[in-house]
Each structure stands twice: as structure tokens, then as C-alpha cells.
Amino acid sequence: MKGDKTIKVDVLARVEGEGGLFVKIKGGQVESVQFRIFEPPRFFEALLCGRCHAEAPDITARICGICPIAYMTSSSQAMESAFGARLTGPLRELRRLIYCGEWIESHGLHIYMLHAPDFLGCADAIELAGIQPEMVKRGLRLKAVGNRIVTLLGGREIHPVNFKVGGFYRVPGRRELLALTEDLEWARDAAYDTVRWVAGFDFPVFEQDYEFVSMHHPDEYAVLEGRLVSSEGLDIPLEAFEAHFREEQAAHSTALHAAVKARGPYMVGPMARFNLNFDQLPPMARRAAEEAGCVPPCRNPFKSIVVRAIEVLCACETALDIVAGYDPPPSPAIDFEPHSATAYGCSEAPRGICWHRYALDEEGVIRSVRIVPPTSQNQGVVERDLRRLVERYADLPEDRLTWLCEQAIRNYDPCISCSCHVVQTS
């Protein structure tokens, strides 16, 4: 019948992890939309029980190979704040620096290898390299600079080994860090050029209303810590997360869906941070955003690629500041006495807030865990975007509409492996 259409993508490409897409249109009306996740469950929350608090950073890192720093930071900070060992001074700066490395690496990967090919009609970055080789080379080099920071501070780029509850095992000397300067200056300029490049892409007209949720810190573009705020006026400490947000298991496929209890689906990640914390961007990132005509409120998810590029620039500027002002701390870690506690931690993973809660017994052994990764939080808005997109572009030929839907999912850089507590589709 006319107006009947099914869009089905069994294996979604250029996303991290295993997911699919299913949209059913009947009589011109969208009947059902599913962003399917069939990543096998790995039960991290269960397997952490009985482990020592000190093991949490290394174990939770394995939830995601793309953003291990986010997991290591959120888990370490949870323990540190519960045991009264919050990092300050150079130790805190080193944590920020390694996090900048992860942002540069992860955003660089997404912009150049996963997302840009969509805007230029290429199947992948290799094909893109055929028409714009210099761009792809720049992207790969940018990503390599991010990885270099993570490797210097962490030992290796994926699952670094130098994270410890209370600080680090070993901290770099001043000269070791300063050696990053030249690379970072190149990366800062490359990031600026990246903003200009992606801002010139064609964006589908698709302005939407979202409730944006991110962390907010009084003094900096929040990455490591802050309160949880939203564009609808939410302003709560980390500990209150569960009172305001809920996660539900959906029968049809997917990961646990998250929602603001009072209102519904919400968006986390680059666009949320950008819209809520724009004033705190460092000067060059802010200027680049203004030149690119990308200023809050940015409500077109397809423009998230521009926001990611602005955040890469922000990370490069921040990293350069940290490197220039670094004086090694007297000790690589601070001491603490474990005791029974409920530990809360959160940080801004490249894809959005990564929230952790641990119940610890008197010896610091983990007794229960809850981890809320960014991708499962975006699940609701991803499906809503798909529905509205299909309604709006229903007349496109099926292959074009399918590609557009895929692109709409990639707007969120979904990290499906991250959705550690994920439901198996049947």
C-alpha cells in the first residue's frame, strides 16, 4: 500500500558496538521506531561486587575501549570523595589533562572517521581520503595527539594503567609534559581548521526541542566535576541523580532507557554541555564557535559535529594551559583510609555524563554498584529524533532515508559497548 515503508538496518555502521535500526511506516504514519541494541550483556555491576575499591578504575575501564578515562575518572572520584581524598592542585590538573586527551582522541575519531563521511556521501574515511586526503590525514594526526597525551600519562592509549584511587602510580616530570607543547599547538590550530571545515557542511533542517543535561562547574567548562544542571532548570548535586532520573528496561530491544522523572527523555553530550556551559569555553573555542555561526541554543543534532570540533579546540587550549602551568606534585597519590560509605562519581565522558554509585563496606569492598553510561541516557531522544526525521523526510527514496536515519543516530556518537547493562534483543 502507498505510504507503507520499512527501514531496517541490521548492523549499524560507524558506531562503537552492535546496534541496529528499525522504522515502520504505515499509511504515511510512523508506526514504530526502534534503535536496537543487541550488544551482549556483560554484567559489570554484578562482577564488581566483592572486588576491592582499588580495582574499580581498571575493571570499569573495560566497559568501553573508546572512553576508558571516563570510567576510570568517575569510579576513582567516587572512591576519593567517599574517603575524603579529593584531588587538588597538580594531581587534579593531570586528571583533567588525560581527560582532554580522551576528548581529542574520541571526538577526533568520531568527526573524521565516523561522522564526516555521511556529510560528504562517503561510505567511510578511506573513501573520504580518496577525495579529501589532507582532511583525513589531519584527522588522524589530531586523533594521534589525543592518544599521545593519554599514553604519556596513562601508559597506553586504550585501558591506561596509571589511574589509581587517590591519584596516579607515577606522575610525569615537568619536562616530560612540556614535550607535548609542540604537538598541542599544532592540534589547537588543526582543531580550529576542523571547526571551519565541518561548519561548511550541509545540514538537514531539523531544529528540535530537548532538555539538555550536563555537569556545571563554577570555574571551568565542566569535565571532571560539578553539579548536574539542565536547560529546564534542574540544578542538583551528583548524589541526587537517582531522585530525579529513572532508567527503564524496554521490552522491544534496547538498553535501559533513561528519563527525567518529571518530564521525559533528555540529551547528554557535546550539545548539552555546549548549550549549558558556552560562557566557560576558552577564548579561541568561543571565537571559533561564533565565526562558525554555531552559538547556543544549538538545537540541530546534525550540527553536533561542529560542537564536537569546538570541544576538541577547547580540550587543546585547556591542555596547553595545564602543560604550561604544571609543577609536579610532591607525591603521585594521596593516602586515605577506606571505610563503609556510599560513593558517588560523575564526569563528562565524550558522549555525556557517566554516573557511578558504589556501596562500600568497612574494608572498602564493593557491595553494590550502579553505573549509568551516556549512551543509554540518549536512547530516548535518539528514537524521538528518528520518528520526527522520518515523518519529515518520508518522501525521500528509501536508500536516502535509510542513510539519513543512520546519520541521525551517528549524531549522538552512540557507544553501544558502553551501555554495560544492555538488553539482548529477541
Partner 1 sequence: MPKMRKPKLAVWKFASCDGCQLTLLDCERDLLTIAGEIRIAYFPEASRTFLPGPYDLSLVEGSITTPHDEERIHKVRRRSKIVVAIGACATSGGIQALRNFDDVRRFTRAVYPRPEWIQTLKKSTPVADHIQVDYELKGCPIQKTQLLEVITALLAGRKPCIPTYSVCVECKRRGNVCVTVARGVPCLGPVTQAGCGAICPSYDRGCYGCFGPKETPNTASLTHMWRAALGVEKVDILRAFRGFNANADAFRKESETHER
For partner 1, the closer of residues 155 and 296 by Cβ is 155
Taking the complex as a whole, the smallest distance from the CB of residue 65 to partner 1 amounts, in Å, to 2
Taking the complex as a whole, the smallest distance from the CB of residue 223 to partner 1 amounts, in Å, to 21
Please give the Cα distance from 94 to 361 (Å, whole number): 29
* C-alpha gyration radius of the chain: 21
Task: Tell which residue, 220, 303, 218, 319, has the closest CA to residue 269.
Answer: 303
Check: CB of residue 333 under 8 Å from CB of residue 307: no
In degrees and rounded to multiples of 5, residue 34 shows phi and psi of -135, 125
Q: Does 396 bind partner 1 (CB under 8 A)?
A: no
Taking the complex as a whole, the smallest distance from the CB of residue 164 to partner 1 amounts, in Å, to 8
Please give the Cα distance from 261 to 316 (Å, whole number): 36
Q: Does 156 bind partner 1 (CB under 8 A)?
A: yes
Residue of the chain from 24, 159, 257, 287 that contacts partner 1 (CB under 8 A)? 159
Check: CB of residue 102 under 8 Å from CB of residue 184: no
**Burial class of 279 by CB neighbour count within 10 A (0 to 12, 13 to 18, 19+):** exposed
Going residue by residue from 39 to 68, which x/- string records binding to partner 1, judged by CB under 8 A?
xxxxxxxxx-x-xx--x--xx--xxxxx-x
Number of residues that bind partner 1 (CB under 8 A): 70
Q: Does 144 bind partner 1 (CB under 8 A)?
A: yes
Q: Which amino acid belongs to residue 207?
A: E
Q: Does 404 bind partner 1 (CB under 8 A)?
A: no
Q: Does 331 bind partner 1 (CB under 8 A)?
A: no
Residue of the chain from 7, 125, 198, 372 that contacts partner 1 (CB under 8 A)? 125
Check: CB of residue 362 under 8 Å from CB of residue 339: yes
User: Which grid cell is 139?
Assistant: 584527522
Task: Tell which residue, 314, 297, 370, 291, has the closest CA to residue 46.
Answer: 370
Residue of the chain from 24, 155, 220, 328 that contacts partner 1 (CB under 8 A)? 155
Q: Does 131 bind partner 1 (CB under 8 A)?
A: no
Taking the complex as a whole, the smallest distance from the CB of residue 142 to partner 1 amounts, in Å, to 9
For partner 1, the closer of residues 129 and 285 by Cβ is 129
Going residue by residue from 232 to 271, which x/- string records binding to partner 1, judged by CB under 8 A?
-----------------x-x----x---------------
Q: Does 295 bind partner 1 (CB under 8 A)?
A: no
Taking the complex as a whole, the smallest distance from the CB of residue 156 to partner 1 amounts, in Å, to 6
User: Which grid cell is 398?
Assistant: 528509501
For partner 1, the closer of residues 215 and 315 by Cβ is 315
User: Which grid cell is 307?
Assistant: 560542537
For partner 1, the closer of residues 130 and 237 by Cβ is 130
Residue 168 CB partners (closer than 8 Å, separation 6+) = 91, 94, 153, 162, 332, 333
Q: Does 93 bind partner 1 (CB under 8 A)?
A: no
Beta pairing partners, 19:
37
Q: Does 162 bind partner 1 (CB under 8 A)?
A: yes
For partner 1, the closer of residues 149 and 415 by Cβ is 415
Q: Does 137 bind partner 1 (CB under 8 A)?
A: yes
Q: Does 183 bind partner 1 (CB under 8 A)?
A: no
For partner 1, the closer of residues 129 and 294 by Cβ is 129
Q: Does 36 bind partner 1 (CB under 8 A)?
A: no
Check: CB of residue 405 under 8 Å from CB of residue 29: no
Residues 16-35 that bind partner 1 (CB under 8 A): 16-18
Asked if the bond preceding 297 is cis, omega within 30° of 0, the reply is yes
User: 155-160: which pairs have CB atoms within 8 A and are 24 or more residues apart?
Assistant: 157/105, 158/65, 158/68, 159/58, 159/61, 159/62, 159/65, 159/68, 160/61, 160/68, 160/69, 160/72, 160/98
Q: Tell me which residues touch partner 1 (CB under 8 A).
A: 11-18, 38-47, 49, 51-52, 55, 58-59, 62-66, 68, 109, 113-114, 117, 123-127, 129, 133, 136-137, 140-141, 143-144, 147, 155-159, 161-162, 164, 169-170, 249, 251, 256, 332, 403, 406, 415, 417, 421, 423-424, 426
